[in-house]
């Protein structure tokens, strides 16, 4: 339940322009922008520029080795600057046959908007633009300076963003940053995250004969699918332990305060299990043990594996190629580049020098202090608007370029957004609630207002 605030005039404008804001979001959602497949990227960058131009910014595209960054800034009444970090790329939409409506149709159904990227994170781009539009329509000049850094490679692990940041520190400079995602937990309670995991994403490839062959020759011809099975098994065996030398060495154990914070987290286990459709969590973990695993341990995930014939029925083939994607989520203070180098050396040492590796993405883990002013601003405005104090998580389980854009410059950041626990980011039937989208627009105005007065 929202309480009356000084921003009622702005909120009234937002409510009376809800349809236009929703249409602007749908336009953005109907433009595919899959970085992994180079699908619609230039069109989407131009569309995002148009959106920023429509609220008085003068955006520009800054070239990188990959997709350009859309950058825009505008001064405000106070000489302090709030950054908004977002990304205009989205995940691939497949498996398409599991969607209940076209992922690019942005259908509104049962009070929700269903589309690839609506939660992650085009809903937040649109809410931030709409919030600025509302403020300016009612109040004129923004209360603070605002800058947008909207990259095009977040879903492929932001490979160009470190170069961008190091080459353009003045563009990154800000007094605080609102991160690209955020939203409600499974009880509908808002959440705040003050840390992101890092990531080391590696493709592994094996090759055998010059092409697929009749499987009868398998007596004597190497099989790249077996090579990759054995290499992956060497990396992580049935015990779940990652055997890459040094992998766990720099994992920082939680402090007593962090453990206490974990104990205070709400218990969502039953609802999560039901949502996932599994009978129990890995190793039967629960309670604090589960939280410690989720928030303070790294992962090593086979995100994809392909070799040979994968259609229906039987094809008696000896594959000529095999590839796998290995997605490692890192916790403080693991180094993705050091881990990739150690993986390479491990494979060579273990006799898998025939397995090629390619580092497709690397992010350092990063953090904001729980005492940072921006954390209080986001928490207080969430409480005002959502009628509930947010749950504060030391870390998200996800990753992103928080280190590149913020931590390396000493900028504090905090999450805020329009998602919810069943938004299905990265999965079929991604969605947000229309009501949350409108509330998110108001939240942006409240954050700017409170940050100007903090």
Question: Does residue 297 interact with a second copy by CB under 8 A?
Answer: yes
Contacts of 45 by beta carbon, 8 Å cutoff, 6+ apart: 61, 67, 68, 70, 88, 152
Contact, 155 vs 90, CB < 8 A? Answer: yes
Question: Does residue 42 interact with a second copy by CB under 8 A?
Answer: no
In the region spanning residues 356 to 385, those forming contacts with a second copy, defined by CB under 8 A, are 360-361
Question: Does residue 335 interact with a second copy by CB under 8 A?
Answer: no
Question: Does residue 87 interact with a second copy by CB under 8 A?
Answer: no
- For residue 304, what are the CA distances in angstroms to 6, 50, 298? 51, 36, 18
| Minimum CB distance to a second copy, residue 141 (Å) | 39
| Minimum CB distance to a second copy, residue 37 (Å) | 6
Question: Does residue 396 interact with a second copy by CB under 8 A?
Answer: yes
Q: Which stretch binds a second copy (CB under 8 A): 4-12, 86-94, 186-194, 257-265?
A: 86-94
Question: Does residue 40 interact with a second copy by CB under 8 A?
Answer: no
Question: Does residue 104 interact with a second copy by CB under 8 A?
Answer: no
In the region spanning residues 106 to 165, those forming contacts with a second copy, defined by CB under 8 A, are 155-157
In the region spanning residues 276 to 295, those forming contacts with a second copy, defined by CB under 8 A, are 276-278, 281-282, 285, 290, 293-294
Which tokens sit at 170? 């003045």
Question: Does residue 313 interact with a second copy by CB under 8 A?
Answer: yes
Contacts of 42 by beta carbon, 8 Å cutoff, 6+ apart: none
| Minimum CB distance to a second copy, residue 14 (Å) | 30
Instruction: Among 47, 105, 108, 229, indicate the residue that binds a second copy (CB under 8 A).
Output: 229
Binding mask 43-82 for a second copy (x = CB under 8 A): ----------------------------------------
In the region spanning residues 242 to 281, those forming contacts with a second copy, defined by CB under 8 A, are 276-278, 281
Cβ of 157: how many Cβ atoms within 10 Å?
Answer: 22
Give the DSSP letter of residue 118.
I
Distance CA 236, CA 325 (A): 14
Instruction: Among 138, 426, 452, 454, indicate the residue that binds a second copy (CB under 8 A).
Output: 426
Distance CA 348, CA 333 (A): 25
Q: Which stretch binds a second copy (CB under 8 A): 52-60, 172-180, 215-223, 248-256?
A: 215-223
Q: Which is nearer to a second copy, 3 or 314 (CB)?
A: 314
Instruction: Among 87, 184, 236, 367, indicate the residue that binds a second copy (CB under 8 A).
Output: 236
Residue in the block written with tokens 């890459």: 244
* Angle in degrees, 0-180, between the axes of helices 18-29 and 8-16, rounded to the nearest 10: 60
Question: Does residue 307 interact with a second copy by CB under 8 A?
Answer: yes
- Please name the helix (run of DSSP H) or strand (run of DSSP E) that holds residue 452, with its range, or none: helix 434-453
Instruction: Among 147, 193, 197, 420, indicate the residue that binds a second copy (CB under 8 A).
Output: 197
- For residue 244, what are the CA distances in angstroms to 29, 127, 329, 381? 40, 42, 14, 44
> How large is the C-alpha radius of gyration of the chain?
23
Question: Does residue 317 interact with a second copy by CB under 8 A?
Answer: yes
Instruction: Among 62, 171, 302, 392, indicate the residue that binds a second copy (CB under 8 A).
Output: 302
Q: Which is nearer to a second copy, 5 or 215 (CB)?
A: 215
Q: What beta strand segments (E) does 35-77 contain?
A: 60-62, 69-74
Question: Does residue 216 interact with a second copy by CB under 8 A?
Answer: yes
Instruction: Among 177, 199, 406, 446, indicate the residue that binds a second copy (CB under 8 A).
Output: 199
Q: Is the dihedral of CA 373, 164, 301, 183 positive or negative?
A: positive
Residue in the block written with tokens 């095999």: 322
Residue in the block written with tokens 């790249």: 224
Q: Which stretch binds a second copy (CB under 8 A): 140-148, 168-176, 233-241, 364-372?
A: 233-241
The DSSP code sequence of 219-283 is GTS--HHHHHHHHHHHHB-TT--B-STTTTTTPPPPPHHHHHHHHTS---HHHHHHHHT-SS-GG
Q: Which stretch binds a second copy (CB under 8 A): 23-31, 109-117, 203-211, 413-421?
A: 203-211
Question: Does residue 91 interact with a second copy by CB under 8 A?
Answer: yes
- For residue 430, what are the CA distances in angstroms to 130, 141, 184, 433? 21, 35, 15, 11
Q: Which is nearer to a second copy, 53 or 315 (CB)?
A: 315
Q: Which is nearer to a second copy, 50 or 348 (CB)?
A: 348
Question: Does residue 316 interact with a second copy by CB under 8 A?
Answer: yes
| Minimum CB distance to a second copy, residue 378 (Å) | 21
């Amino acid at each position: 339940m929202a309480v009356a605030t000084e921003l009622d005039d702005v909120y009234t404008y937002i409510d009376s322009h809800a349809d236009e804001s929703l249409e602007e979001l749908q336009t953005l959602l109907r433009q595919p922008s899959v970085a992994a497949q180079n699908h619609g990227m230039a069109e989407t960058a131009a569309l995002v520029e148009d959106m920023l131009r429509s609220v008085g910014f003068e955006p520009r595209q800054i070239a990188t080795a990959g997709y350009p960054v859309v950058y825009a800034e505008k001064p405000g009444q106070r000489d302090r600057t709030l950054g908004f970090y977002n990304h205009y790329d989205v995940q691939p939409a497949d498996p398409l046959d599991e969607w209940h409506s076209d992922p690019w149709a942005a259908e509104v159904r049962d009070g929700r908007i269903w589309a690839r990227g609506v939660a992650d994170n085009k809903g937040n781009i649109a809410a931030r633009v709409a919030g600025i539009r509302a403020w300016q329509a009612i109040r004129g000049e923004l209360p603070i300076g605002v800058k947008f850094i909207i990259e095009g490679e977040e879903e492929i692990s932001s490979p160009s963003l470190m170069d961008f940041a190091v080459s353009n520190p003045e563009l990154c400079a800000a007094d605080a940053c609102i991160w690209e995602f955020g939203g409600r937990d499974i009880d509908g309670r808002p959440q705040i995250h003050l840390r992101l995991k890092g990531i080391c994403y590696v493709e592994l490839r094996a090759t055998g004969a010059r092409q697929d062959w009749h499987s009868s020759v398998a007596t004597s011809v190497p099989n790249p699918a077996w090579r990759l099975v054995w290499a992956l098994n060497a990396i992580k065996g049935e015990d779940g332990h990652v055997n890459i030398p040094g992998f766990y060495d720099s994992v920082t154990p939680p402090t007593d305060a962090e453990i206490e914070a974990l104990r205070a987290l709400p218990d969502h286990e039953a609802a999560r299990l039901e949502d996932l459709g599994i009978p129990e969590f890995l190793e039967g973990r629960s309670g604090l043990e589960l939280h410690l695993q989720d928030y303070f341990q790294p992962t090593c995930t086979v995100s994809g594996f392909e070799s040979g014939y994968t259609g229906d029925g039987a094809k008696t083939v000896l594959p000529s190629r095999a590839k796998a994607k290995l997605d490692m989520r890192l916790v403080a203070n693991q180094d993705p580049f050091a881990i990739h180098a150690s993986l390479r050396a491990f494979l060579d040492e273990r006799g898998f020098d025939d397995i090629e590796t390619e580092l497709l993405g690397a992010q350092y883990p990063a953090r904001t202090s729980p005492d940072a002013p921006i954390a209080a601003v986001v928490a207080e405005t969430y409480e005002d608007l959502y009628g509930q104090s947010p749950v504060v998580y030391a870390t998200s389980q996800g990753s992103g370029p928080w280190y590149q854009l913020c931590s390396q410059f000493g900028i504090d950041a905090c999450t805020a957004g329009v998602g919810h626990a069943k938004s299905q980011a990265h999965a079929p039937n991604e969605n947000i609630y229309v009501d949350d989208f409108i509330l998110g627009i108001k939240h942006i105005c409240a954050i700017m207002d409170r940050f100007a007065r903090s």
